Amino acid sequence: MVNIKNLFASAGLISLVIITALITDSAKVSASSITRVGGENRYATASQVAKTNWTSGSENAVLVSGEGYADSVSASVLAKKLGAPILLTQSASLSADAKSALETLKPKNVYVIGGTASISSSIESALKLDYNVTRLGGNDRYATNLAVVNKLVDLGVSKDNIIVVAGTGFSDALSVAPVAAAKDEILILTDNNVDSIKSTINFAKDSNVTVVGTTNVVSDAVYKALKADNRINGGADRFATNLAVLKAFDGDFNAGKIYVANATGQGYADALVASALAGKYSVPLILTDTEESTATNKAVDYIKIKIKKNTDLQVVGGTGVVPQSVEDKINSLFENNKDSNSNDNDDNDSSDSSDKSSNKLTNATNAVVKAENSKLQADVDSAKALVDALEGSSDKTSLLNRLQTVQDEINQANAGKEALDKATAAVTKAESSKLQADVSSAKILVDALEDGSDKTSLINRLKVVQNEIDQLISQGQKQELKDAISAVSKAESSKLQNDVNFAKTLVDALSDEDTKTSLENRLEIVQNEINQINNQQQALTKANDAISKAESSKSQVDVDSAKALIMALPDSTYKTSLQNRLNVVQNVIDATLAVQEAEQNNGNYAPYNTAKELVDALPDSLDKTALETRLSNLKILIDAVDAVFNAEGSSTTEDYNKAKVLVDALPSSSDKTSLENRLNTVDIIIKSKEYLATAQSTLIQEDLDKAIQEIDKLDDNVIRDGLLEQAEDIQNQIDTMDDEQKLQQATDAVTHVESTMTQEDYTTAITLVTALPDSPDKNGLLSRLDEVQYEISQISINKQKLDTATAAVIEAENSKVQADVDNAKSLVAVLKDSTDKEALQARLQAVQDEINQAGTGQEALDTATQAVVKAESTEFKVDVDSAKALVTALPDNGDKTSLLNRLQVIQPILTTHQEFYDTIKNSLQNFDESLDIYVDEDDAYESSDKYYFLTTIDEIKRDNPDLNAELLRYSYPTSSLPKITQLNGITKYKLNITFNYTGTNENMISKRETVASKVNEIVNSVTNATMTDYQKELALHDYLVNNCHYNYDVAEGIDVKKENNPDIYTAYGVLINGDAVCEGYADAMYRLLKAVGIDSMMVVGTVSSDGGVSYGDHAWNIVKIGGQYYQLDPTWDDPTYFSGPNEPIPGYNDPTHDYFNVTDDFLSQDHIWDKSKYPVCNSIEYSYK
């Protein structure tokens, strides 16, 4: 048996990439020779072909995996449309040859063909750093093919004509790919399962479809579902099919070139290469078999017909796959053809050609006339083939228009026949079932028919059925038949074995054999569906377990294993749910790899931005939070590096300060140390420039010396040399100053210090003046400096006074003592008038106001103290709460703290229903496991007319379904309570309530936060501020029903305890897992409605059959819309409640609204609840319309 993997590894599939490749290696062919072409390593060959044939580069490149064939079939037509080379790569990492080709070609756009299993996401991420990357892929070859097809449509390829081949192998696709490329048409892969190709059917619904392949590879069912127009059956094997395709599309190939390749054994891969080459040049590809096989001889015969004098024929593959003897046979055809052509006369050729064209037009016209007369599809198809073969002309256009008119008439007739067939089938069903519903359905279809004998006949048949139904009712068999039909309908809805068995008992008891047989047939269908569901259960369980493992491990191996199991499942909402979960895991893995790459390039924004985009797209989770933390730390480092780089470039204080803030915030590391050293150098440069500027301005030696001192700290470099040159220029200026310049310099310094009055400027000025030669000018400057020195000393004295007064004000602010305030006022009063003095006076006034108000504060303290004393004497909760409010309002100080401590030790006694309600509700909100409640009588909690203890918990559960969601059970003592007698004489009794939850406190808080986030996301996505409450309720109801399925274990009658699978009883199961029971539906509905401000509650009761005895616990909602209450049961509106999650039932795929905003009377037909505990629901104003 041929090893397929090795078969493609030879030069394989991937050689498909060599779409344009081997052309460069072939020389211009003469009439008497054949060119044989071939390649070496597939990756290197593809790379070299691309470089050779796109010497000026290419705007686009197509990348496919070199390790499988399926994606490459879809790539060939795309590559031709884009005018792009195809490059090959390994699946896990980009091949060196592909990388080299991309660097040479420098494309703007790279198209990655296939899913991440074919070409990994890490390759895609790396490519995005340099190119615009578009991935065209899906979960399998068919999804990838459709992705490529949709891209071709975007690029302008028309959907008018489509060629369909089987995707299960190469054989037909080998021959058809050149045709699709030549005709600029779409090539679609299909399988034989109609249910799995719905996307393909939808895509091709308005197209002319040609199917290539026998019914064994593309079934009649698929052919009809695609509404195909033509089938090219081919033959018993790929070689016969190849010749059939070539003949069918003979007029679509360019003359002058032929490719020949072997399609058996190791030569199969060469045929793939040749198929791509033939597609590029729109020429035929002829397949050969073994050396002396019948298929090879037929191929040679076909070549004999097609070759001309100057035909360019190329054999793809070495002599090991296409033997030399076969090449010799073909070469002899060239020799014979050349001899034959040499005897031809050009005039005769021209005459023959003209006669042939005339004959073709006559034959085509006759065929069109025949089709117009017969109105048969076969005649239209035959005529179209003849017309299509004509050369372009007005005659051809006219014939095509006439054929289109005939085709439209046939299509219209087919549509009428289809409606008649549907109506006839419906009447036949009604005749068999004797059900009024079937009669009504059939009548609708019959009434829609055009008037005629067929319609009259069907109407008469329906009248007969109606009479039979009426007769059955009149004969007293109504109830027996009704019960049996009802039981069968229930079994069809529930898909439960017990319901099937019960219905079978009722059906067996019927006397009417025709009706009995009809119902038995329906029950047989249900039984088969149940058996199929049971068979699928094991596969579902294995897939679910594999996903759980992948979610835990975050391993690519586990993800791939889970993916394989999911792909084997039939399409369903549950499969989609599993795929969505797996996609989340894959996204986490991809994001983690991207973050790792970004961390390894911590000075580069590009990988960081790529990683952030992937992390931002993740749903909220601990994984996302961890990755966000890593990215946040990385962003800080990148920003710091960037800021230091900017500071080095600008050497400005502003950029230096910005960079220093960022670097100082980094944790200790070698990166931080390196950045600090670079910043130190920037600081030295900035200071050096500032000192040089000062020295340039003052021409004072001392200022220049400071600058030189800073410059000497720098390492030898261009910047240091430049700064020293500036310093040397300034030094020359200082050295060359004359006495007059020095006098002017000293005068300017004195003038400056007179304006600043700083000791530093005084020192500069006195230095310059002292250095002057004695003169009246010098004496005048010294005199002015004496006055400046006096003013500076006075400023210093005033500052000391200001500091002393400020310290006194601070002391008064801290002490709030009148003596300190008075002392500070006296010190402030002697200050000179200034804004500082005014500010200190304002602060002292504020302290004085506080002291004045202290008397009023004492009154509040006394009132709070009295309230605390009362609370200590009664310990009633109402008194404790009153005292706590008064104490909390006091200013923070020791008295307040003391009073709060006294209240803290009181164990308050509950005396009202509201106190019970609030206390227990608060405990449930905090997931407390134990709650102590104190009462003033031993059996007070049992008195329903006083404390409502038991009814209070029921009310909390009803009003707050979210608090009840995680609660498993609660317990309390049923005997006498412990008696507590305190020193203050108060006697009370302790009631201890214990709560058991579904998980740990941390786990439940995490789930609550997750659900809250999801609720907010849903509300924002399906509602808006312009919607009415009714519209919001409807949108949230439909979202819930569409995105959750009823737990199939419970649906099958398995008793799943809340403690064993708590999530299905909560909103978490509905909104996060998409799997729940009725209590979870009601909890989720309550939370969603609460989020948009709509009042609702959970109702707990049972469900019954036709209002009779209850047979199961159930939960639903009551909602308040427009001031009226309505019953709302989202569980019973979910079709999966009846059908289960694994296999949709025709007619039950969409959410229903049978139990949306209904009345008590309506719901009472099959629901039972204590109506005394819930509002009356009797309005129909906002029922579903």
pLDDT at 162: 93
pLDDT confidence tier of residue 478, bands split at 50, 70 and 90: low
* Whole-angstrom distance, CA of residue 211 vs CA of residue 163: 6
Query: What's the average model confidence in pLDDT over 722-739?
Result: 87
Nearest one of 323, 335, 328, 268 to 293, comparing CA atoms: 323
**pLDDT exceeds 50 at position 897:** yes
Query: What's the average model confidence in pLDDT over 922-936?
Result: 83
Question: Tell me: the pLDDT tens digits for 494-511?
Answer: 888 888 899 898 888 887
Please give the DSSP secondary-structure letter assigned to residue 402: H
pLDDT confidence tier of residue 472, bands split at 50, 70 and 90: low
pLDDT at 29: 37
**pLDDT exceeds 50 at position 798:** yes
pLDDT at 982: 65
Query: What's the average model confidence in pLDDT over 345-349?
Result: 48
Nearest one of 42, 52, 151, 28 to 97, comparing CA atoms: 42
* Whole-angstrom distance, CA of residue 121 vs CA of residue 511: 66
299-302-308 Cα angle (round to 5):
125
Q: How distant, in Å, are the alpha carbons of 662, 668, 690, 715 from that of 682?
A: 15, 20, 12, 12
pLDDT at 759: 86
pLDDT at 226: 92
Name residue, tokens 């989340």. 584
Q: How many Cα atoms within 13 Å fall on the side-chain side of residue 473?
A: 10
Pick from 24-28, 196-200, 405-409, 889-893: least confident: 24-28
Pick from 154-158, 274-278, 299-303: least confident: 274-278
**pLDDT exceeds 90 at position 237:** no
Question: Tell me: the pLDDT tens digits for 777-794?
Answer: 989 999 999 998 888 888
Nearest one of 77, 14, 7, 78 to 43, comparing CA atoms: 14
pLDDT confidence tier of residue 430, bands split at 50, 70 and 90: confident
Neighbour-count burial of 90, counting CB atoms closer than 10 A to its CB (0-12 exposed, 13-18 middle, 19+ buried): middle
The fraction of the chain above a pLDDT of 70, given in percent, is 86
Report the range out of 35-44, 687-696, 735-744 with the highest average pLDDT: 687-696
**pLDDT exceeds 50 at position 140:** yes
pLDDT confidence tier of residue 357, bands split at 50, 70 and 90: low
Name residue, tokens 């005459």. 351
Report the range out of 341-350, 524-533, 615-624 with the highest average pLDDT: 615-624
pLDDT confidence tier of residue 282, bands split at 50, 70 and 90: confident
pLDDT confidence tier of residue 281, bands split at 50, 70 and 90: confident
pLDDT confidence tier of residue 438, bands split at 50, 70 and 90: confident
pLDDT at 24: 35
pLDDT confidence tier of residue 233, bands split at 50, 70 and 90: confident
pTM for the complete prediction?
A: 0.34
Name residue, tokens 């050149």. 178
Name residue, tokens 């430049």. 722
Tell me the Ramachandran region of residue 496: left when phi exceeds 0, alpha when psi lies from -120 to 50, beta otherwise: beta
pLDDT at 266: 42
* Whole-angstrom distance, CA of residue 165 vs CA of residue 216: 12
* Whole-angstrom distance, CA of residue 1107 vs CA of residue 1026: 40
**pLDDT exceeds 90 at position 1088:** yes
Question: Tell me: the pLDDT tens digits for 1030-1061?
Answer: 999 999 999 999 999 888 777 666 766 777 78
pLDDT at 10: 33
Q: Are 34 and 313 in contact, with CB atoms under 8 Å apart? A: yes
Report the range out of 302-311, 355-364, 614-623, 737-746 with the highest average pLDDT: 614-623
Tell me the Ramachandran region of residue 989: left when phi exceeds 0, alpha when psi lies from -120 to 50, beta otherwise: beta
Query: What's the average model confidence in pLDDT over 1078-1099?
Result: 94
Query: What's the average model confidence in pLDDT over 97-121?
Result: 91
* Whole-angstrom distance, CA of residue 582 vs CA of residue 290: 47
pLDDT confidence tier of residue 991, bands split at 50, 70 and 90: confident
**pLDDT exceeds 70 at position 218:** yes
**pLDDT exceeds 60 at position 267:** no
Query: What's the average model confidence in pLDDT over 614-641?
Result: 88
pLDDT at 13: 35
* Whole-angstrom distance, CA of residue 1 vs CA of residue 808: 103
The β-bridge partners of 164 are 188, 211
**pLDDT exceeds 90 at position 633:** no
Q: How far out from the chain centre does Cα 112 lie? A: 19
* Whole-angstrom distance, CA of residue 1158 vs CA of residue 1141: 26
Question: Tell me: the pLDDT tens digits for 803-825?
Answer: 999 999 999 888 878 888 899 99
**pLDDT exceeds 50 at position 8:** no
Query: What's the average model confidence in pLDDT over 751-776?
Result: 88
Pick from 500-504, 881-885, 955-959: least confident: 955-959
pLDDT at 680: 93
Query: What SS3 class is residue 1133?
Result: coil
Mean pLDDT of the chain: 82
Question: Tell me: the pLDDT tens digits for 377-400?
Answer: 888 888 888 888 888 787 888 888
Q: How distant, in Å, are the alpha carbons of 254, 700, 701, 768 from that of 777?
A: 107, 19, 22, 13
Report the range out of 207-216, 900-909, 1028-1037 with the highest average pLDDT: 1028-1037
Pick from 86-95, 260-269, 721-730: least confident: 260-269
Position with higher pLDDT, 124 vs 53? 124
961-966-970 Cα angle (round to 5):
95
Report the topology of domain 1003-1173: C8orf32 fold (3.10.620)
Q: What is the DSSP string of 498-559?
A: HHHHHHHHHHHT---HHHHHHHHHHHHHHHHHHHHHHHHHHHHHHHHHHHHHHHHH--HHHH
pLDDT at 771: 83
Query: What's the average model confidence in pLDDT over 116-123?
Result: 87
**pLDDT exceeds 80 at position 855:** no
